[in-house]
Amino acid sequence: MENISQDQAKAYAILGVSALAIILIAISYDKISKGIEDFFGGDKEAEKKKAEEQAKVLQTVDSEIKKRIVNGVKPSYRDALYQSAALNIQNATNKSALDDKNSVAIQQLLFYTPKDIDFLKLEEAFGSRPHYWFGVSRGARTLRELISQEFTDFERNQINQMFIKRGLKTKV
């Protein structure tokens, strides 16, 4: 057997490690590409299913508002104010976690919800809006999804405590 120089041994080791890396990448390519695709919102079927679920939630909100109005419960504000509050909440939470302004969103949420019907009207006005994470679209979300994704447990508890003080049955 012939002696292998140290340089040749290094070259063989580099080739072996490189070949192993290429094989592992080739084997896991589907998983990696699926993960990248999912991160950048490439799963159209899942997006469609989520949009359908959100539409059902919003239909339920709409029918609940109509029921309450028929029963004599009137919203506290005009629709334009709920739209404005929804836009303010969206703008305060639509960016990355580094520049979100949850306190602004919470302030808007609490100001425009003195009654249960007002929360429903705010949900209706918010609808389903796009969300971005560091500039990458993460799909649309409803107000309740925003609250569950953006706010900490402490913030949600603060909102719920304020709702309880006001006599609201709504919980976030």
Q: Which of 3-7, 55-59, 98-102, 124-128 has the lowest mean pLDDT?
A: 98-102
Burial label for 38, CB within 10 Å (0-12, 13-18, 19+), is exposed
Which pLDDT band holds residue 42 (cuts at 50, 70, 90)? low
118 has a pLDDT exceeding 90 = yes
| Cβ contact 118:61 at 8 Å | no
Give the span between the Cα atoms of 90 and 100, in whole angstroms.
10
Q: Which of 17-21, 25-29, 37-41 has the lowest mean pLDDT?
A: 37-41
Question: What is the rounded CA–CA span in Å between residue 21 and residue 15?
Answer: 10
Q: How far apart are the C-alpha atoms of 169 and 172, rounded to whole Å?
A: 10
Q: How far is CA 143 from CA 84, 88, 122, 123, 162, in A?
A: 14, 12, 8, 6, 18
Closest CA to 119 of 40, 172, 158: 172
Instruction: Give the H or E element holding residue 136.
Output: strand 136-141
Would you say residue 134 has pLDDT above 80? Answer: no
The stretch 97-119 carries a mean pLDDT of 89
Mean pLDDT of the region 97-113: 86
Q: How confident is the model at residue 4 (pLDDT cuts 50, 70, 90)?
A: confident
* Higher-confidence position of 33 and 118: 118
Q: How far apart are CA 118 and CA 49, in angstroms?
A: 28
Residue 43 has pLDDT above 80, yes or no: no
For tokens 């009207």, name the residue. 121
> What is the residue extent of each domain of the chain?
1-39, 44-166
State the angle between helix axes of 102-111 and 79-93 in degrees (0 to 180), rounded to the nearest 10.
160
79-93 helix and 116-126 helix, angle to the nearest 10 degrees: 60
pLDDT at 16: 87
pLDDT at residue 133 in the model: 78
